[in-house]
């Protein structure tokens, strides 16, 4: 018999705050975390906006010597993990860690490449490799907390954090371990990454109005906003959580994962993979479609994603799709790439426990191809029992989580 899996801890750091309580307060009040980029000079760039964590001082969280050995994405992961672990109260060493990241230690990569070009081999730090590689955040969390369970990182682009949560759920469900720390982290707002996404024409260039630049499902959307941060959950078997009297925040009841096998950056034009992933999550959860009360959409604010995600939701939910609240918190957080699925899972946990659905802000001009209830501009109160969270990524990855009130 498979284990039931519950969430007993969560933590986050994002453009909307250094904790999930700040994040949630800003989400339900429709506040945007998008600003002009401050960490480097954008004069030569056609995109000048992002979801930066501008009030972040590493020395508040780390000793100076330690901070020099950690990339920005690793620091974010360790901070969010500290919050989640404290929030959960776990004290076992038999704990696993799975972390998702889209680009890993890009800050370190660019800094060290510059040193190599300017000073040659001798200029490159001996800390370069263990500071930059994408598995290192999970390794650092395990070392700090003495967790010797399974530990790996995964990268499925913008589905990474959802897949990390989904894989942790599977490990606990199949009785391989009782407790997992999982989620995602990203610190990739750098000149190189910004240039790459911008030259793909994936980013909004609405530099004059940063706070209204992310407009998922709106007819005038013109691209996503790069963002950074980390979100971490503690998952536990229900038996383990009950045994130690843990505060249970919600239950994970389903996980669906597919690939479009269609195009490297564009979703399938009939939304086959996304539709199938939602169906699989619902089947795994053993629930009827009419039991879903809210969808936290991938909702990137790009033309194809928003139109094709809408199509997928209609294909799964049929006539009921029009009655189902669907919102994109990316309208406020921006797109946290490999961390985004976890920040959105936390948003679902808060939505379930508070009976509030955060809005899709900046929704002004309806699009005939996007014709669902996107909870425009104002949060709504609704008794929620089951929510699903969609994450889709470059490479054709589709990952869907189903969460339930406990």
397 noted as active-site residue:
no
Q: How far apart are CA 194 and CA 323, in angstroms?
A: 37
Which residues does 167 contact at the CB level (< 8 Å), separation at least 6?
A: 98, 154, 182
Which residues does 232 contact at the CB level (< 8 Å), separation at least 6?
A: 10, 11, 12, 77, 80, 81, 83, 84, 181, 182, 183, 342
335 noted as active-site residue:
yes
Angle between the N-to-C axes of helices 136-145 and 72-88, in degrees from 0 to 180, rounded to the nearest 10? 40
Decide if 359 contacts 328 (C-beta within 8 A). no
298 noted as active-site residue:
yes
The position carrying tokens 């479609």 is 289
* Catalytic one of 145, 268, 335, 397: 335
* Catalytic one of 158, 182, 348, 370: 158
Residue 310, number of CB atoms within 10 A of its CB: 22
Q: How far are the Cα atoms of 143, 166, 253, 337, 377 from residue 151, in angstroms, in the given order?
A: 11, 14, 23, 21, 40
* Catalytic one of 298, 348, 370, 397: 298
Angle between the N-to-C axes of helices 72-88 and 106-119, in degrees from 0 to 180, rounded to the nearest 10? 150
Q: Which residues are catalytic?
A: 158, 298, 335
């Amino acid at each position: 018999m498979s284990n039931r899996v519950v969430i007993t801890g969560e933590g986050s750091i994002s453009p909307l705050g250094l904790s999930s309580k700040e994040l949630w307060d800003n989400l339900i009040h429709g506040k945007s975390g998008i600003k002009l980029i401050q960490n480097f000079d954008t004069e030569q760039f056609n995109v000048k906006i992002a979801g930066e964590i501008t009030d972040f001082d590493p020395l508040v969280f780390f000793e100076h010597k330690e901070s020099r050995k950690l990339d920005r994405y690793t620091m974010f992961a360790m901070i969010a993990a500290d919050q989640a672990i404290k929030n959960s109260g776990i004290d076992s060493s038999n704990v696993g860690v799975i972390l998702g990241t889209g680009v890993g230690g890009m800050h370190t990569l660019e800094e060290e490449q510059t040193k190599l070009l300017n000073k040659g081999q001798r200029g490159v730090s001996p800390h370069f490799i263990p500071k930059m590689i994408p598995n290192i955040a999970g390794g650092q969390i395990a070392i700090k907390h003495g967790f010797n369970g399974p530990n790996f990182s995964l990268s499925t682009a913008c589905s990474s954090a959802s897949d990390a949560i989904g894989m942790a759920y599977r490990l606990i469900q199949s009785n391989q371990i009782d407790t997992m720390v999982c989620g995602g982290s990203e610190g990739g707002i750098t000149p190189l990454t910004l240039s790459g996404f911008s030259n793909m024409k994936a980013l909004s260039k609405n530099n004059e109005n940063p706070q209204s630049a992310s407009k998922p499902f709106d007819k005038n959307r013109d691209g996503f906003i790069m963002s950074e941060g980390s979100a971490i959950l503690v998952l536990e078997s229900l038996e383990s959580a009950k045994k130690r009297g843990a505060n249970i925040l919600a239950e994970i009841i389903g996980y669906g994962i597919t690939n479009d096998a269609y195009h490297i950056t564009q979703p399938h034009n009939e939304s086959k993979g996304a539709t199938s992933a939602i169906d699989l999550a619902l089947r795994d959860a053993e629930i009827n479609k009419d039991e879903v009360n809210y969808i936290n959409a991938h909702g990137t604010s790009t033309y194809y994603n928003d139109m094709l995600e809408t199509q997928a939701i209609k294909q799964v939910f049929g006539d009921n799709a029009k009655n189902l609240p669907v919102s994109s918190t990316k309208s406020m957080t921006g797109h946290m790439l490999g961390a985004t699925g976890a920040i959105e899972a936390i948003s679902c946990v808060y939505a379930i426990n508070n009976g509030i659905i955060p809005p899709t802000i900046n929704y002004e001009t309806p699009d005939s191809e996007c014709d669902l209830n996107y909870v425009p501009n104002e949060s709504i109160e609704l008794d929620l029992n089951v929510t699903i969270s969609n994450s889709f990524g470059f490479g054709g990855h589709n990952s869907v989580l189903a969460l339930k009130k406990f």
